[in-house]
Structure 1
Amino acid sequence: MTGQETLPYHYVAQDINHWYVVIKQGNVHKAKELKKKVESEFANMEKNEDIAVYIQLLELRHQLMLSYLEPDSVDSIEDAYKYVERSKRNIAPEYLTDIIEFYYHFFFGMYHFRTKDLVVALTYYREAEKYLDLINDKDETNKAEFYFKVSEVYYYMKETHFSMNYAQRAYSIFKEQKDNDGNLTYGKQMVQCQFVISGNWLDKMCYEEALHHATKAYEDAKKIKENHLIGSAHFNIGICYNQLEELDKAEYHFQRSYDIHRQRSHIYESKAIFNLAYVKAKKNELKETEALYNEGLLVAKRHNNKEIIEKLKLIKGLYLSYDLNVVREAFKFFDDKNMYADMEEYAVAVAELLNNKKEVNDAVEFYRTAIEARRQIQRGSHLDEK
């Protein structure tokens, strides 16, 4: 095929759709191959505004996939986001089809979820859902992926009922997807759904049930031989044991999670090392805590993980320098980002620690912070913002 040939848009559309399928499946190698192929074909394609916008949106989705699975290969998510944002403003209304509107709001929601702007993410997801049933699409995995992403943001907002519902709807679709040999084609996504379900059981304080689902996710991740999912499964099991106050077991699984994610410089290594340091601090192993704190700060800065940078202040302010103003900085971040669940969880932990030290006035301050966070969650006021 020569560079002078003009390709019909429907020919390119087939490869674009295939590109999106492998993105959803988390197949990084194949997604990169198809991205190059589509870009080459688009350069020789007859003009079509729908395809042009679709490619821009998938470029953003591609970068979001890489940010989780292969963060070192990410070009610039922010540039891709801003480019789509500018382009959409210049698109004539007749080109804004239901499918374009759905992907625009869906992918923008994913972008803001990644930056922990949960209210903004949910606002975009709500807009995307308006178009979901309008799309003439036989591929049920589009709905499944959407349901899963919505379950994630509701999980972070501690809207347990909604999160469980969406995660289970996604799981029921993913488990039906098989190739011609009967092998699951969305095994990774099934594991991720189990992660969310396990997390919701934790929020309901059903720790044994949460551990059951986290362990099942670990076993399934081993079957499909996905290291980053195995690392995440270790992390989730560690969370369960931490809640059960079995700190030695929690430390073991956080260490395993960190070791796995560190090998690939995965973005989740920041979360793993923070929790490992936090458990060490709770065990009063302060020399090891300080070393992990310093290492964790470097890791979080390398990944530009602002959430972990702020959470590390809890360890510094409570266990290393004992400066409650540093701790308050972390809570301001939680408040600014509407992270009321984290605010409640850590405020209770801080208050109990201070109470044990007989520092009653400071303990009351953080108990009040926890109560206010709980009120925000129950009121759901953060879900009604526009």
Structure 2
Amino acid sequence: GMYEFSKGEYIKAITFYRYAERKLDKVADELERAEFFFKMAEIFYHMKQTHLSMYYVEQAYHAYKANSIYQVRLIQCRFVIAGNYDDLVSYEKALPHLKRALQESIALGHDYITTKGLLNLGSCFNKQDDVAKATVYYQRALELGEKIGAKEVVQACYDLAIIFFKQGRKEEALDYCVKGKSYAEKYDDSMFVDLFNVLHELYVTVSPSVEVNQKFDQLLYSRGYPYLEDLALEAGRFYNDIERLDDSVFFYKKMIQVQKLIQRGDFEYDV
């Protein structure tokens, strides 16, 4: 399951995790059980199955909180909790977890987790349309991530590119696109290569919706769904602002289509 998760094959990963869950009653060690709960919480978060993710992460969080040697896992639980609150539009509940996580990761001297913390705070402020604060945190994440060779630099570049495209700062946005795509290729992340291609087709070429949609459809798989949902909304707004209403409506409909795919989940059941 962890192997499939690492490849972005979330449906396959969940299938294996569920087979493992049937054996969980034979595992006596509470921290081993917590590790399983964390993995379940993580994958359901990535698939935007918010309430399932919160169910599992709560169990993992309390187990790790009771054991002081699992500080990194506790911070990672905070990330998942905050991400779920973001998806529930409860930013006031997400921020305390993210700020505490950043403080703890800095205190530990753990640069990789600190990079993640900066990136997650940027995302939280971005979702609140506080792009000034979001930009600061994304740029700090990018700077630290480049220093330590963390693949999270790809996400930072992607989010910064969108912010600057939306602000009409095309040259700066293109710089982040070029840098981000280069990092995506370096880290062999084909999904982000495709996402940067979509940004170029949308904001630079300003192609008709049918042509942009061809790039979108390359991302129709479980790891790509959340990005597609957000990007379809941005595309709808972009075309609306330049008064290409047919293209705008097309992408608003695309967003609804992707939301349905997320809600369905494509889970495999035995009944």
**TM range, normalised to the smaller chain?**
over 0.9
Query: CA 1:141–1:271 in 2, change beyond 3 Å: closer, same or farther?
Result: same
Deviation (angstroms), 1:208? 2.5
Residue equivalent to 2:37: 147
Residue equivalent to 2:113: 229
- Note if contact 1:241-1:249 (Cα within 8 Å) is conserved in structure 2: yes
Deviation (angstroms), 1:154? 0.5
Structure 2 residue identity aligned to 1:125: Y
User: Using the alignment, how far apart are the partners of 1:359 and 1:311 within structure 2?
Assistant: 22
Q: Structure with the greater relative contact order (CA < 8 A, sep ≥ 6): 1 or 2?
A: 2
Structure 1 residue identity aligned to 2:110: E
1:168 aligns with 2:168: no
Structure 2 residue identity aligned to 1:148: F
User: Using the alignment, how far apart are the partners of 1:291 and 1:385 within structure 2?
Assistant: 45
User: Using the alignment, how far apart are the partners of 1:280 and 1:210 within structure 2?
Assistant: 25
1:116 aligns with 2:1: no
Query: CA 1:130–1:203 in 2, change beyond 3 Å: closer, same or farther?
Result: same
**Equivalent residue runs for 1:1-386 within 5 Å:** 109-135=1-27, 137-138=28-29, 140-177=30-67, 184-323=68-207, 324=209, 327-337=212-222, 339-378=224-263, 380-384=264-268
The Cα RMSD (Å) is 1.8
Query: CA 1:290–1:240 in 2, change beyond 3 Å: closer, same or farther?
Result: same
User: Using the alignment, how far apart are the partners of 1:267 and 1:228 within structure 2?
Assistant: 10
Deviation (angstroms), 1:238? 0.5
Question: Residue by residue, what CA displacement relative to the aligned partner does 1:226-245 show, whole Å, maximum 9, x if unpaired?
Answer: 11111111101101111111
How many equivalent residue pairs?
A: 269
Give the match's secondary structure for 1:271: helix
- Note if contact 1:157-1:339 (Cα within 8 Å) is conserved in structure 2: no
- Note if contact 2:142-2:153 (Cα within 8 Å) is conserved in structure 1: yes
Residue equivalent to 1:8: none
Query: CA 1:147–1:318 in 2, change beyond 3 Å: closer, same or farther?
Result: same
Structure 2 residue identity aligned to 1:335: L
Larger Rg: 1
Query: CA 1:385–1:279 in 2, change beyond 3 Å: closer, same or farther?
Result: farther
Structure 2 residue identity aligned to 1:131: K
- Note if contact 2:177-2:196 (Cα within 8 Å) is conserved in structure 1: yes
Give the match's secondary structure for 1:245: coil
User: Using the alignment, how far apart are the partners of 1:385 and 1:265 within structure 2?
Assistant: 40
User: Using the alignment, how far apart are the partners of 1:344 and 1:281 within structure 2?
Assistant: 18
Deviation (angstroms), 1:153? 0.9
Question: Residue by residue, what CA displacement relative to the aligned partner does 1:299-343 show, whole Å, maximum 9, x if unpaired?
Answer: 110000112112212321222222356642442133134643332
Among all aligned residue pairs of Structure 1 and Structure 2, give the percentage whose two residues are the same amino acid: 28
Deviation (angstroms), 1:368? 1.2
Give the match's secondary structure for 1:133: helix
Structure 1 portions without partners, runs of 5+: 1-108, 178-183
Query: CA 1:297–1:342 in 2, change beyond 3 Å: closer, same or farther?
Result: closer
- Note if contact 2:191-2:224 (Cα within 8 Å) is conserved in structure 1: no
Query: CA 1:196–1:348 in 2, change beyond 3 Å: closer, same or farther?
Result: same
Question: Residue by residue, what CA displacement relative to the aligned partner does 1:49-96 show, whole Å, maximum 9, x if unpaired?
Answer: xxxxxxxxxxxxxxxxxxxxxxxxxxxxxxxxxxxxxxxxxxxxxxxx
Structure 2 residue identity aligned to 1:360: L
Answer with 158-167 or 265-274: which moved more: 265-274
TM-score (norm 2): 0.93
Query: CA 1:216–1:326 in 2, change beyond 3 Å: closer, same or farther?
Result: farther
Query: CA 1:235–1:311 in 2, change beyond 3 Å: closer, same or farther?
Result: same
Deviation (angstroms), 1:352? 1.5
User: Using the alignment, how far apart are the partners of 1:287 and 1:341 within structure 2?
Assistant: 26
Give the match's secondary structure for 1:276: helix
Structure 2 portions without partners, runs of 5+: none
Residue equivalent to 1:21: none
Deviation (angstroms), 1:377? 2.8
User: Using the alignment, how far apart are the partners of 1:230 and 1:116 within structure 2?
Assistant: 23
Deviation (angstroms), 1:385? 6.9
Question: Residue by residue, what CA displacement relative to the aligned partner does 1:195-252 show, whole Å, maximum 9, x if unpaired?
Answer: 0111101111112222222112111212222111111111011011111111121111
Question: Residue by residue, what CA displacement relative to the aligned partner does 1:95-117 show, whole Å, maximum 9, x if unpaired?
Answer: xxxxxxxxxxxxxx111111111
User: Using the alignment, how far apart are the partners of 1:329 and 1:114 within structure 2?
Assistant: 26
Answer with 279-288 or 338-347: which moved more: 338-347
